[in-house]
Structure 1
Amino acid sequence: MSHSSELIAEDIEQYLKAHEHKGLLRFITCGSVDDGKSTLIGRLLFESKLLFEDQLAAIESDSKKYGTQGTEIDFALLVDGLAAEREQGITIDVAYRFFSTNKRKFIVADTPGHEQYTRNMFTGASSADAAILMVDARHGILTQTRRHSFLMSLIGMRHVVVAINKMDLVDYSKARFDQVVEEYREFARQLELPEITFIPMSALKGDNVIEHGHNMPWYHGPSLMAYLETVEVDEEYLQRAPFRIPVQWVNRPNLDFRGFTGMVASGVIKPGDAIRVQPSGKTSKVSRIYTFDGDLDEAVAGQSVTLLLEDEIDISRGDVISGIEQPAQTADQFETTVVWMHDTPLLPGRPYLMKLGTQTVSATVTKIKHQVNVNTMEQMAAKQLDLNGIGVCTLSLDRAVAFDPYQESQDTGGFILIDRMTNNTVGAGMLRFALRRSQNIHMQHVDIDKQSRALTKGQKPAVLWLTGLSGAGKSTIANLVEKKLHARGNHTYLLDGDNVRHGLNRDLGFTNADRVENIRRVAEVARLMADAGLIVLSAFISPFRGERQLARDLMEDGEFFEVFVDTPLEVAEERDPKGLYRKARRGELKNFTGIDSAYEVPEAPELRVNTATMSAEEAADAIIDALRERGVIA
């Protein structure tokens, strides 16, 4: 190794040691487009002396090519890494950057300002200790300023700086600063933001970013850097909160060691402390706090540890270990706030997966109570949530989970919703409180069960779910199958789409939301009938895979048979027994499946029948044969 290389290595080692024990603050910059977020971060990086000579040379070159600041360095280009961002002068992705000062280390997230990228901002804010909300002094409070402020109040952001930027373009006017401050305060009275600090600045010129400068002698508050170096970080706050550790995995390397591993979400735990495990409610005491580097005398928020207990109790991944004095709550129904983050809308009744802490459960939004207009804070009626929509919803889970209200703990009160078919994250939300019926309604034990009822009928309960386009022949085939089963002495019931809409579902239309609710109700009825020991035949278009999966999940393994009546659209349209396709083509019938509403083809049905190549009688016989092969009938 050369002498110069040794010096460089020595410098790096000294640098790392100097920063090793500093506290860390995570913060975001947000606000409307072109309010100066990226320029501010570039200025912070530049002033912190963390740029190498080649980076400075590159940014000077890029400033001449892409920059918007004439001959000056365009600091925004230090952050806007995507080519599309540099060419358009906007931020699309969330850009994370690290820098440090003598007092603290920082990770900053530069979040997008465009409305269509609101979900990116929400993602960046979810792990931040503080937020810098950029406001252009010339334009004041804009729609996206309000939107981002509302999102920050939703996620419980405790420290917010309203950075009124570009003061150099309004001649550093105190009157203009005061006007924008009052405008924001008027709006913020409707929000739950506990701490708001207003700082006038020019990110481009550097005024009040690191030091005060001489252009605004009327301002006597802290510079932005002074604020960031002293604001309380969440780790300090979380250590004062009740103890929580969501169990990530059960550590059992041998018969003499059984520990429960996870990251401490809040509070402090010591050997000898009494704990309660939720949702089971079982109690014990901590005997050891184990880590790879040895046992600890205590564990605090942010540390990953393995707890060993004095008693052998059943604990699984997803359970929450709490301090015994203030344990987590348990429930399976909640009022929540949901931020929708996908192009496909949220529909009540559609099943999703919910990830809460380390546990993943099945979840259904049963009702959208209202949607929030972020400009006016008005509560509006809504049947669905579209991309970037924010709504207060009731949420039902398939089992009780341990939780805390989001305002008390983001780790045990914040969740994401996942599409069951694609595994895409489609929404994020906050648990507000458990619904009372979650504790007041319990399953009543009955002595006669499904097996007993089916035994007296000499058959196995099953649900035959016929799905396909209108005119495919579902009802005809289902009717023939029921006649054949009845002739054999089987006990059946046929649920038909048109018939059900005359009674149980007469209040539903044909919007996507109503279609989802239609199938949800039918699936629940089919489950009850299967519990009675019947063979249930369901003939519904049921166009969405998610709802068919919901119906399948309600049944026990081997009870659900999806039969895809696979008839090409042109064949079904040529038959058109009710004249519906002709009406849809003329525009007289909206949301008609196959024309202006999608049909999602089954991916792995138990049986596929094509009525373009086989008769209804042949299709019915194929279904009877399939039931016999699977042991449903003898």
Structure 2
Amino acid sequence: MPIQSPPSSLLRLATAGSVDDGKSTLVGRLLYDTKSVLADQLDAVTKASVDRGLSTPDLSLLVDGLRSEREQGITIDVAYRYFATPRRSFVLADTPGHVQYTRNTVTGASTAQLAILLVDARKGVVEQTRRHAAVLALLGVPRLVLAVNKIDLVDYDEETFRVIAKEFVAHATSLGYPDGSVLALPVSALVGDNVVDRSDRTAWYRGPTLLEHLESVPAAPDPHDAPFRFPVQYVIRPRTPEHPDYRGYAGQVAAGTIRRGDEVVLLPAGRRSTVARIDTPDGELAEAVAGRSVTLLLTDELDIGRGDVIASPGESPTLTDELDATLAWLSEKPLRPGARVLVKHGARTVPAFVEELTARFDEQKLSSVDAPDTLLLNELGRVRLRTAEPLPVDDYAVSRRTGAFLVIDATDGDTLAAGLVGAPLPNP
């Protein structure tokens, strides 16, 4: 039976920035210059560009896939792109820049190991830059790249770049980013300076190009060595003559490693069992690591359902009905103490009550306000929630998957907030 081999080098990254900073053009340039664009895609972009009266292909159209995005010339939704070089594979999330779509930035950056934050060289660090940096810090994105874009529009001026880079690095340091985790570089997404190829027009810049950095930066490893976490998505009971007694629990390994014969604990029930088999569509495995979708069979018949968590017995999640967490508030409806909401943790959704708003973070002033009356759209705040049922949760710093949750409107099902268990607000 095969043992799963480690995955090839993969970097998950996201883009962020203000409106018209050139995020989609940068991503398009990255795809185009790494020859990651199919001929029919380039033909479609060329035709659309000609229809808009342009003499050269608008590379941003490689990313802005929705008709409404192409018509308005803006990014609305998160666009995911997959590409590879001989040195590494990439999953890239291009996120919107408009303030009202900050919620999409949270989505795109939630699994990122690196974020590219763009600023316009003519404008420098602006309010949305600081907001995005605070969100990225809160989500625990370990590395940042500040791409000072449109450097060609300031005549490749070194001093302009240095001033912007110094201001942003100081801001990122205040948010908790350590030395060496932030790289600033001058680029022109439109022309291609320092994106894939080094530019002679910025001879004063001695650092790597964007692609060189992306290919060489250490990627935060999947938490294979973390305590095992397996949220159950589905219970498989085929009840066929070939499999009369088959009872499997399907899902994706959220953290850690599981092996045949390992002892596990079921939460919230607290019952223990042993892994009898690890099934996949391609056959049985001897072990599975974080990120692998499998079906677990246990030696005991237990009452397990969707939303339960199978975990390491010695290092199991905390089972609690009280969540002290940080919220990124994503709704135009304000949050107030006493609100009744739904909390979706993994595959389990339970009613909850907002006991207290303990703090609100001002990402512009890098300060906190204690006991605010409300949380408004795009604000970050600390809250205490009481859930109707205990949930098996981890601190977000320990496990992103089991330390994160959604807050949902109980009346219409709209997503109101992204929540991070135990994650403190940035503390400059």
Establish whether TM, by shorter chain, passes 0.5. yes
SS in structure 2 of the partner of residue 385 of structure 1: coil
Q: 1:273 to 1:421 in 2, by over 3 A?
A: same
In structure 1, distance between residues paired with 2:312 and 2:265: 6
Please give the root-mean-square deviation of Cα atoms over the aligned residues, in Å. Answer: 2.4
Task: Name the structure with the higher helix share.
Answer: 1
Q: Deviations over 1:75-106 (max 9, x none)?
A: 22322334544454332222223333233333
Does 245-254 or 136-145 show the bigger shift? 245-254
Residue 417 of structure 1 and its aligned partner are, at CA, apart by 1.3
1:302 Cα deviation from its structure 2 partner: 0.9
Which residue is equivalent to 1:339? 328
Contact 1:66 1:86 in 2 (8 A): no
1:249 paired to 2:234: yes
Distance 1:367 1:288, change over 3 A: same
Aligned twin of 1:490:
none
Q: Assess if the C-alpha contact under 8 Å between 1:368 and 1:382 holds in 2.
A: yes
Partner of 1:394: 384
Partner SS, residue 377 of structure 2? coil
**In 1, Cα distance between equivalents of 2:339 and 2:316:** 32
Label 1:71 to 1:339 Cα distance change in 2 as closer, same or farther (>3 A).
same
**Alpha-carbon distance change, 51 to 250 in structure 1, aligned in 2, over 3 angstroms:** closer
2:313 alignment partner in structure 1: 324
Residue 513 of structure 1: aligned partner: none
What is the CA–CA distance in structure 2 between the aligned matches of 1:198 and 1:237, rounded to whole Å?
26
Matches within 5 A, 1:123-138: 123-138=107-122
| Mapping for residues 43-122 of structure 1, pairs under 5 Å | 43-66=29-52, 71-122=55-106
- Structure 2: where are the runs of 5+ without partners? 1-6
Q: Which amino acid aligns with 2:151?
A: M
Q: CA deviation at 1:398?
A: 0.7
* Equivalent-residue separation in structure 2 for 1:382 and 1:103 (angstroms): 48
- Cα offset for 1:289? 1.3
More moved, 98-107 vs 413-422: 98-107
Whole-angstrom distance in 1 between the partners of 2:65 and 2:302: 51
Q: Is residue 170 of structure 1 aligned with residue 160 of structure 2? A: no
**1:149 pairs with 2:133:** yes
The 1:282/1:415 distance shift into structure 2, 3 A limit, reads same
Contact 1:157 1:193 (8 Å CA) reproduced: no
- Preserved contact between residue 34 and residue 196 of structure 2 (Cα < 8 Å): no
List aligned pairs for 1:470-509, cutoff 5 A: none
Equivalent-residue separation in structure 1 for 2:251 and 2:299 (angstroms): 18
Give the letter for the 2:231 counterpart.
P
> Which whole-Å CA distance do the structure 1 matches of 2:200 and 2:413 have between them?
54
- Cα deviation code 1:183-224 (max 9, x no counterpart): 012211231335222222111121211122322233332221
Provide the rounded CA distance (Å) in 2 between the counterparts of 1:394 and 1:261.
Answer: 32
Asked whether 1:414 is paired with 2:404, we answer yes
- The amino acid across from 2:347 in the alignment is T
More strand by share: 2
Specify which of 376, 379, 398 is matched with residue 368 of structure 2. 379
Aligned to 1:34: 20
1:304 aligns with 2:293: yes
In structure 1, C-alpha distance between the alignment counterparts of 2:237 and 2:219, rounded to whole Å? 35
Contact residue 270 and residue 297 of structure 1 kept, 8 A: yes
Q: Is the 8 A contact 1:22 1:103 kept in 2?
A: no
- Hey, what's the Cα distance between the residues in 2 that align with 1:150 and 1:39? 24
Q: Is the 8 A contact 2:222 2:290 kept in 1?
A: no
Which residue of structure 1 aligns with residue 4 of structure 2?
none
Cα deviation code 1:322-378 (max 9, x no counterpart) = 223322111111211112222222232222111111211111211111222221122
2:149 counterpart of 1:159: no
Residue 267 (structure 2) pairs with residue 278 (structure 1): yes
Superposed CA offset, 1:124-172 (max 9, x none): 2223332111112222111101111111111111222111212222232
Q: State the one-letter code of the partner of 2:232.
A: V
Deviation at 1:232, TM superposition (A): 4.4
Q: Is the 8 A contact 1:156 1:193 kept in 2?
A: no
CA distance in 2, matches of 1:317, 1:88: 41
Q: 1:153 aligns to what SS in structure 2?
A: helix
| Aligned-residue offset at 1:39 | 0.9
1:84 and 1:326 mapped to 2: Cα distance?
48
d(CA) in 2 for partners of 1:332, 1:306 = 28
* Structure 1 pair 137–251 and aligned structure 2 pair: CA distance change class (3 A): same
Match of 2:419 among 416, 429, 448: 429
Which of 251, 262, 266 pairs up with 2:251?
262
Question: In the alignment, is the contact (CA less than 8 A) between 2:360 and 2:379 conserved in 1?
Answer: yes
How many residue pairs get aligned? The number is 411
Tell me, yes or no, if the aligned pair for 1:98 and 1:107 is still in contact at 8 Å: yes
Q: Residue 517 of structure 1 aligns with which residue?
A: none
Q: 1:293 to 1:186 in 2, by over 3 A?
A: same
* Cα drift, residue 388 of structure 1: 1.8
Q: Equivalents in 2 of 1:62, 1:342: separation in Å? A: 34
Residue 133 to residue 102, structure 1, CA distance change in 2 (3 Å): same
Aligned counterpart for 1:405 among listed residues 395, 405, 410: 395
SS in 2 for 1:215: helix
1:219 corresponds in structure 2 to 205
- The residue correspondences of 1:520-535 to structure 2 (distance < 5 A) are none
Segments of structure 1 that go 5 or more residues without pairing to the other structure are 1-20, 435-634
Q: CA deviation at 1:40?
A: 0.3
Q: Deviations over 1:480-539 (max 9, x none)?
A: xxxxxxxxxxxxxxxxxxxxxxxxxxxxxxxxxxxxxxxxxxxxxxxxxxxxxxxxxxxx
Question: Residue 433 and residue 125 in structure 1: after superposition, are their counterparts in 2 closer, same or farther (change >3 A)?
Answer: closer
Kindly indicate whether the alpha-carbon contact (under 8 Å) linking 2:149 and 2:188 is maintained by their aligned counterparts in 1.
yes
Larger radius of gyration: 1
In structure 2, distance between residues paired with 1:293 and 1:95: 30
- Between the aligned residues of both structures, percent identity stands at 46
Cα distance between partner residues in 2 of 1:428 and 1:415: 6
- Find the aligned partners of 1:83 and 1:232 in 2 and give their Cα distance: 37
- CA 1:23/1:319 → structure 2, altered by over 3 Å: closer, same or farther? same
Q: Quick check: 2:138–2:423 contact (8 Å CA) kept in 1?
A: no
